[in-house]
Structure 1
Amino acid sequence: MVGLPFDCLSNPLGAVRLTFEKAAAASPQGLDQATLNGGRDWGAIDVFNNFLFEQGGLSHVPILDPVNLHWIRPNSLVRFRGMVQDMLGNEFYVGTFKNGLTWKTNKFTDVSSYPIPSTSEMRIWERRLLYCVTVPGQNSWVVQSSSSEIGFNKSSSSSFQHGEKRSRDEVSEDTDLNASDHEPSNSSMFTKRQRENGHPCQPFQTPLEAVEDTHPGPSLQSDLKTNSLPCMVKIYDSLEADLKLNDVFEFIGVFTFDPELAVHKDDSDEFSNGICDDALVHLPPSKVPRLHCLIHRKLGAHDFLLSTYVIEPLPSLIKGVREALLRHLTAILGNDGVAAQCVLLHLLSRVHARVDSFAVGKLSLNLVGFSSETVSIFGNQLILALQNLLPFSQSMPLTLEYLNTATLGPRKDYKTNRLVSGVLQLAQGTHLTIDETQLKAGTINSIGVANSHLLKNLLENQKVDYDFEYYKMEMAADVQILILSEGKSNILPADLVLPFRPSVVASVVNGTAEELQAWRWYLATLRSLPHNIEPVIQKVCYRYLLHKQHSLSLWG
């Protein structure tokens, strides 16, 4: 059973409705105009902020991912960590309406919990729609770290607040709530109508089970095989500038799933924005879960580490961690200490600032001297090590066929009004390893030429062209790029070209769990440190970049 209305974890909608009704009853004039007409927060967010960050409730909120999806009950509080892959515009909905003399709210829901009389006084509110996905290239240890911290209980969303005592006055106030606030959180409109007709309610179904019963055909099951979970996030009370494309966020909100929405997804809503309707037809709840966001926060590499693991930032300790990591990289690279030093500097690089079209701080690295044999040994070892050290990493086998057929740049599909993702739509801080040893002589078609330009622009300027059919837009990026090739790459101009000279071939011993945590902490911490360049040095760097650009233009 769902807890009392202020059980923010199991029954967040109960807390939302209770705070709304209290706000409406607090003043003889009722709700203020900003809340009534625009849906401005009436104090509900303060309740969840207190629960999550003051009472320690955040660690009890399950993370919505392919593993936990089967066990999370609809209408419960969840977290979703992902990248904003597309912005679908705004959606209009009946935010509040008058039920007799009392105002009711539909905020943070897909379907009204109360029947709305056709003659009822109502207000239309607005919310933003974001299509989010699991961060591309997210490595397995990130998911394991998140799961180990939460300790999600499959039999129940949580009983974190059930032991809290409430005063008799609070309980008497709660009895005035609509009975739907006390129904099990998995109740859909279909099961509610069954109870009204005197029939027994349906047992709880997971989203996938409900989809199989009500919406045959392709379902979320196929998407889960890739260990990636898309999610439609509905944003309230947030400025547009706070959420940007390709940023990584943690969204905390109400997870909703209603089989009726999957069945009647083609039904029109007179209050919906037509632009969003086109996109939502292709994103039914059977494929994309919904999350109504209460609170969101931008994430960095630090947020994916175990919060229980903290290193005191003493110079001696940091030096020891660095030396151990350097020894590990040296062993992976066949005892090539110079290459290990350069790889470490490469992993610590990031874009600190932009001067005109130049990205200051990036350090792309081209290790030359690889063959198909050595790349299968040292290249694979290095890629595996990066997967264990970094939260997000990708590898690209650059063959002629891949170059001529792959979709590297995102493009806008105006038929579905969706942004079709490309390989290079990556989150900030992602590492990309390109294996050029497989590239053989041949003919590059028009797609291959366009892909070559995309890769070159990413390497030189840390920008990716997004194709909007009638025009192209450059989007800033911050991707660490490592190139493994036989000779100096002709199509991928790196900042640093270094001959790779291994001296031994030996099996590499992976670091212990504690060592891996220390190395991850070291890379995340040092990479996130602020970096200021004196004005005089800035001028020197700017002249150097101009000279480098001029040299590159001369050599083609």
Structure 2
Amino acid sequence: YKKLFKEMKILSNVTPEIFLKDEKEILRLLKLEENLQEIPLINHVDIQNLKDNSLVRFRGMLQDMLDPEIYLEKYAIIRDNDVRLQNGRYRDAFVLKSNESVDLDSPENLHGERRSIFIVSVPGTNDWVLDVERENCQIKPHSSTETTSGSSALKRPLNDQELIESEKKIPMKAPATISNGSFSVKESPSLLSREYLLNSPIADRPTKACIVKIYNDFDDLVLNTVVDVVGFLSVDAVLDGKNYDLNEFDVITEVQAANPPPSLIPRIHAILVKPVNHINPLVLQTSFDEITDFDERTRMELCRDIQLVLTQCLFGDTIAAEYLMAHLISTVYVRTELECLGQFSLNLSNIPASVATTYTKLLYEIIEMMLPVSHCLPMTLDNLNLLQFSPKNRGLIA
């Protein structure tokens, strides 16, 4: 326990600067599952209760890959006649003390590239999974009674800041006006709805979303992959596109779509992106063969129990129950361009007329309790004619 407490004390106080100084050790600590569980999971924690630049987690599905972004990895800061270099990695805004300004023409400035990905919480996650995740996420939020000033929305307490006397934040990207080290904020009305910005794959089951900025291994991620992200939270109000100064060539809806309010869609600067095998919170993140206390006898008993339940649900039809179980555990799936290969469909017919009107809903409720992710889509004429079944890129956020 002493070791775990010491490790968590380290992780809870990690800043981008601390991480860059001891990257290998912090990543080693994050590989331990018990340490990961102690980091706030913003799927279930209100970001208003978290500090800007604090370490957070987010679990979701990679929905879209956005354009690369060039940023200042290191930049020169001038104060009177003194010049110092400031780290810009894992941050969205310049960090300035009182009476400081950024020297954008300094030869010591170093540019870097990062990639943004749009991640939504896993579509179709069932309620029992969310309930277990909330119970496992009982973390006391950071609170602060300080008032904020200038453009900074959620500042960390001054005694927690390693660099800051009186901090100002200026976006690293261009559409703002920098004058004497200050940020010119010109707020325009938001023209895009909350639903449009969140872009939930299942409209009647809204998801949370994050824009995750990654700094390496760009090509390792694939669309629709479910990942766990650990990184630094960025929720400064200056990131909101409706605060940007626009020129005559900017389209206001495009700017707002590419820069949604961080209070709705926070940014995370990732230090760890880990693919997830499944999202069942009751099962370890490992393959079934690696679970040493599950022998062949236990597996067979579990299989028989599940088959018995499904057989009862299917009016005693053991063959239909076997097919349904095979359908539920099947993972064969390959996408070739727009064509899906290996998707297994199962049709159940000859349902007794006396229960046909309610049977489908009742069967789904049983299946819903077995699966971490599912969705019931009634095959009505309106749904078949009106719903969009294939993904469509909206164009504005790409």
The normalised TM-score by structure 1 is: 0.53
The 3 A distance-change label for structure 1 pair 180 and 348 is closer
Q: How many residues align?
A: 338
What is the Cα deviation at residue 119 of structure 1? 4.5
RMSD: 4.1
The structure showing larger relative contact order (alpha-carbon pairs under 8 Å, at least 6 residues apart) is 2
Matches within 5 A, 1:21-40: none
- % identity of equivalent residues: 25
Instruction: Report the secondary structure of 1:395's partner residue.
Output: coil
Counterpart amino acid of residue 17 in structure 1:
E
* 1:330 CA drift (Å): 1.8
C-alpha distance 76-97 of structure 1, shift in aligned 2 (>3 A): same
Residue by residue over 1:293-317, the C-alpha shift from the partner in whole angstroms, topping out at 9 and shown as x without a partner, is 1100111226643449977221111
1:397-455 deviations in Å (ceiling 9; x for gaps): 112222221111122333x254xxxxxxxxxxxxxxxxxxxxxxxxxxxxxxxxxxxxx
Structure 2 CA distance for partners of 1:74 and 1:373, relative to 1, 3 Å: farther
Equivalent position of 1:257 in the other structure:
235
1:342 to 305, 308, 323: 323
Task: Name which of 50, 58, 62 aligns with 1:80.
Answer: 58
Following TM superposition, by how much is the alpha carbon of 1:70 offset from its aligned partner in structure 2, in angstroms?
4.3
**1:10, 1:75 within 8 Å by CA — same for their partners in 2?**
no
Distance 2:11 2:293 in 1: 34
> 1:107 and 2:93 equivalent?
no
Matched ranges for 1:306-385 at <5 A? 306-307=283-284, 312-351=293-332, 359=341, 362-370=343-351, 374-385=355-366
Instruction: Report deviation, 1:105.
Output: 0.9
Q: Work out the CA distance in 2 between the residues paired with 1:119 and 1:179.
A: 31
Matched, 1:284 2:261: yes
* Residue pair 1:11, 1:75 contacting (<8 A) in 2 also: no
Q: Which residue of 1 aligns with 2:139?
A: 152
Alignment of 1:125 onto 2:112: yes
Q: Does 1:64 align with 2:42?
A: yes
The residue number in structure 2 matching 1:239 is: 218
Deviations for 1:449-485, whole angstroms, at most 9, x for unmatched residues?
xxxxxxxxxxxxxxxxxxxxxxxxxxxxxxxxxxxxx
Distance change >3 Å, CA 68–CA 385, structure 1 → 2: farther
1: distance between equivalents of 2:123 and 2:368? 13
Q: Look up the match of 1:391.
A: 372
Q: Which of 218, 228, 233 pairs up with 2:207?
A: 228
1:42-53 equivalence runs, <5 A: 44=23, 46-53=24-31
Seen in structure 2, the aligned counterparts of structure 1 residues 137 and 375 have a Cα distance that, compared at 3 Å, is farther
Contact 1:265 1:281 in 2 (8 A): no
Deviations 1:72-115 (A, max 9, x none): 33221111111111111111111111345643211111112224
Report deviation, 1:387. 1.6
Residues 238-272 of structure 1, C-alpha deviations (whole Å, 9 max, x = no match): 232x1111111111101111123237542369xxx
Structure 1 gap segments, 5+ residues each: 23-42, 158-177, 191-213, 419-556
Aligned mates of 1:354, 1:219 — CA distance in 2: 30
Deviations 1:201-244 (A, max 9, x none): xxxxxxxxxxxxx9899669x9799552011111111232x111
Tell me the secondary structure at the aligned position of residue 85 of structure 1: strand
CA distance in 1, matches of 2:379, 2:9: 52
- Deviation string 1:54-86 (CA, Å, 9 cap, x unpaired) is 594212011111554343332211111111111
Matched with 1:204 is none
Larger Rg: 1
Amino acid in the other structure paired with 2:57: R
Q: What do the CA deviations read for 1:108-163 (whole angstroms, capped 9, x no partner)? A: 11112224234533122111111111111111222223233343223569xxxxxx
In 2: Cα distance, 1:125 partner to 1:62 partner: 28
Question: Counting helix residues as a fraction of each chain, which structure ranks higher?
Answer: 1
8 Å CA contact 1:8, 1:77 repeated in 2: no
Q: 1:189 to 1:382 in 2, by over 3 A?
A: same
Query: How much has 1:382 moved relative to structure 2?
Result: 1.9
In 1: Cα distance, 2:256 partner to 2:191 partner: 20
In structure 1, the partner of 2:277 is: 300
For 1:380, give the aligned amino acid.
Answer: K
